[in-house]
Structure 1
């Protein structure tokens, strides 16, 4: 058995465990000597706190928007015929056929002052002056939701397909209205998919770099950009490592909280 999993263990060790250990080691060193300066800076520098606050706030907004948009799509896809389910999921997965960079540039073109969105709104007489849809948080959130929406829809769809259709039918036969049956029967059974999608979207948003860099216009400053600046402009590998370690701890805490709400096995769909 050990021989069978040895190649996978070697790959994980080389590509994941060793780099993470090196990252943690770097966060405690400065100019060849051990130090806690990087973590002290994290606790005292307001820029660090503001960056983490903005990153988590954007992650919350993106996750909430993904739930509002993704749940109805997954619900319709799960209840549709196999042919229509394939069509709906094909449109959901269509963005995966292009890179994140291409999609970010596409939204940059769509949302700019002379882009399709502002032009359509102006031609329809809804607005007179172009809306500021880029170089701010709004553009970053719109593009991020679009890019991460499949990570919300797919876990929801997988969970909803496992719900026996007899259960909502039984609720209706007992006199429950469609809304009552949905709230008391279907929604609780779909919660593992909701939490799995929330965790995926939230964690992925925390590490986003290209989208806020392009659509934020320097006004949307996220943790990944703070790490990049420390390395590119100041060559502060220790500072960048400490930020990354703190972010990893936050991600670990998120997974822990999610597993406290619903067992991790149900979130991952293993039981």
Structure 2
């Protein structure tokens, strides 16, 4: 029996290598080699050294863009997770018809281009858009509200785009909650408010953290939505990197910013992985 087991191990390893080798090759060609190229630009353009990283650490203009990006991403993550939590609750525990409606509402946005969504929000939020025109016609406002070409408009568009991504880890965690715990708490006299905040919310906290992390990281790379709804007044880090590398030909600074951003995301991933079981969220 032991001999047969030893014979099957090399075969299993060869099968594993056969299936996994194409994926490793794809990652090398598509990601790691280009990343090495970007890193090399950051230390060789326009001259060999770390001058571009020193500029990233000392330039107040870059710091302002980075802080704006972090602020917008954090607010986007907070609002997206809040809305996603409500949707996930009704998707998991609502009646059948409500679950179908929410599933349809969450899945349909994945079929719509981010560009179309951004222009749709622009039509709604601009000074002569549907929202301002309706409020003006009914007499609630006299002047159009500044809903676009500012951080508010960017956050609205990003929250609309990112909320469906936050729903799935929350749904996964909620489906793993044993409702008998809540029933036991109810039998012991705990009211609904206390059952939620002392039992259900802590049990779903890993999903909240995971959803927040997913939205935050995705939002760091947003380009189209801030460019359209920000109207050039709300420049985030992805748009700034694009400008440096495509318009001003400052490849070194753009590569240094991209590398710094990647390092920040990897650091966040490591920190969050200390508190969240990603395998549990994937169930």
Shorter-chain TM band: over 0.9
Normalised TM-score (structure 2): 0.91
Deviates more, 1:204-213 or 1:158-167: 158-167
State the secondary structure of the residue aligned to 1:238: helix
1:188-199 equivalences under 5 Å are 188-199=202-213
Q: Which residue of the partner structure matches residue 11 of structure 2?
A: none
Q: Which residue of the partner structure matches residue 35 of structure 2?
A: 20
In the aligned structure 2, how far is the partner of 1:162 from the partner of 1:124? Answer: 47
Q: Which residue of the partner structure matches residue 112 of structure 2?
A: 98
Give the aligned CA root-mean-square deviation in angstroms: 1.4
Deviation, structure 1 residue 68 = 2.1
1:1-271 equivalences under 5 Å are 1-31=16-46, 33-266=47-280, 268-269=281-282
In the aligned structure 2, how far is the partner of 1:205 from the partner of 1:37? Answer: 28
Kindly indicate whether the alpha-carbon contact (under 8 Å) linking 2:39 and 2:255 is maintained by their aligned counterparts in 1: yes
Deviation, structure 1 residue 221 = 1.1
Kindly indicate whether the alpha-carbon contact (under 8 Å) linking 2:166 and 2:215 is maintained by their aligned counterparts in 1: yes
Kindly indicate whether the alpha-carbon contact (under 8 Å) linking 2:210 and 2:278 is maintained by their aligned counterparts in 1: no
Q: For this pair of structures, how many residues does the alignment match? A: 268
Q: Deviations over 1:164-206 (max 9, x none)?
A: 2222111111111011111111111111211111011101111
Q: Deviations over 1:24-46 (max 9, x none)?
A: 11111124x42211111111211
In the aligned structure 1, how far is the partner of 2:132 from the partner of 2:106? Answer: 25
Deviates more, 1:67-76 or 1:214-223: 67-76
- Bigger radius of gyration: 2
Kindly indicate whether the alpha-carbon contact (under 8 Å) linking 2:170 and 2:211 is maintained by their aligned counterparts in 1: yes
Deviation, structure 1 residue 82 = 4.2
Deviates more, 1:90-99 or 1:203-212: 90-99
In the aligned structure 2, how far is the partner of 1:51 from the partner of 1:122? Answer: 34
Deviates more, 1:55-64 or 1:154-163: 154-163
In the aligned structure 1, how far is the partner of 2:261 from the partner of 2:243? Answer: 16
In the aligned structure 2, how far is the partner of 1:94 from the partner of 1:124? Answer: 32
In the aligned structure 2, how far is the partner of 1:154 from the partner of 1:216? Answer: 28
